[in-house]
Amino acid sequence: MVAQLETPSANSTLSLPHPIEGLVQVFTSTHRNFFTSIMGEALRMAGQGTPVLIVQFLKGGINQGQDRPIQLGQNLDWLRCDLPRCIDTPQLDEAEHQSLQRLWQHTQQVVNEGKYSLVVLDELSLAINFGLIPETEVLAFLAKRPSHIDIIFTGTEMPQSILDVADQITEIRRSHHP
């Protein structure tokens, strides 16, 4: 005889003895181009049913703003700045600056709605260091986010204030130079 396991319905709620607190994780490196491992982790989590948002603040060039997210499967939304180029300098024209600000405002809004359990903020540290997104706004965003949401920061030159509030810091180093 084969026993059938009862699976929880989509509308059921899980009752835990204590609330699960989301973590602030930092992945930093002295070089860029280490995003692949973070993306792999986000894809794995989304594949297991966790709602994931990836926001690449300084990447552009593919006509993908917050109004046109790439959706990978049912659980992963991927946003980039709606710019014709990638940002690699603090000097932006007004349209570029407005696009970056719209993406930042949109990110804060959807995180506060609680739709996602994991949010990856790629290269937000560089946007802060370039003076494009105020560090104080990022800290306020972290303080008021729903408590169950995990936040991952990636980027070089992570501000000390972000490191100070992080639950986990991972420094990625090259083991050899090509």
Per-residue pLDDT of 136-172, as tens digits, reads: 999 999 999 999 999 999 988 899 999 999 999 988 8
The dihedral built from the CA positions of residue 124, 114, 17 and 10, taken in this order, carries a sign that is negative
Give the model's confidence band at 33: pLDDT under 50 very low, under 70 low, under 90 confident, else very high.
Answer: low
Q: Extract the tokens encoding 73.
A: 């499967």
Q: Do 120 and 42 touch, CB atoms closer than 8 A?
A: yes
Phi, psi of 35 (to 5 degrees): -65, -25
Stronger pLDDT, 169 or 30, i.e. the higher one: 169
Give the model's confidence band at 84: pLDDT under 50 very low, under 70 low, under 90 confident, else very high.
Answer: confident
Give the model's confidence band at 63: pLDDT under 50 very low, under 70 low, under 90 confident, else very high.
Answer: low
Q: Do 148 and 20 touch, CB atoms closer than 8 A?
A: yes
Q: What is residue 15's predicted lDDT score, i.e. its pLDDT?
A: 54
Give the model's confidence band at 173: pLDDT under 50 very low, under 70 low, under 90 confident, else very high.
Answer: confident
Question: CA 71, CA 79: separation in Å to the nearest integer?
Answer: 9
Q: Do 99 and 131 touch, CB atoms closer than 8 A?
A: no
Q: What is residue 5's predicted lDDT score, i.e. its pLDDT?
A: 45
Q: Measure the N-to-C terminal CA separation of the chain; round to a whole number of Å.
A: 60
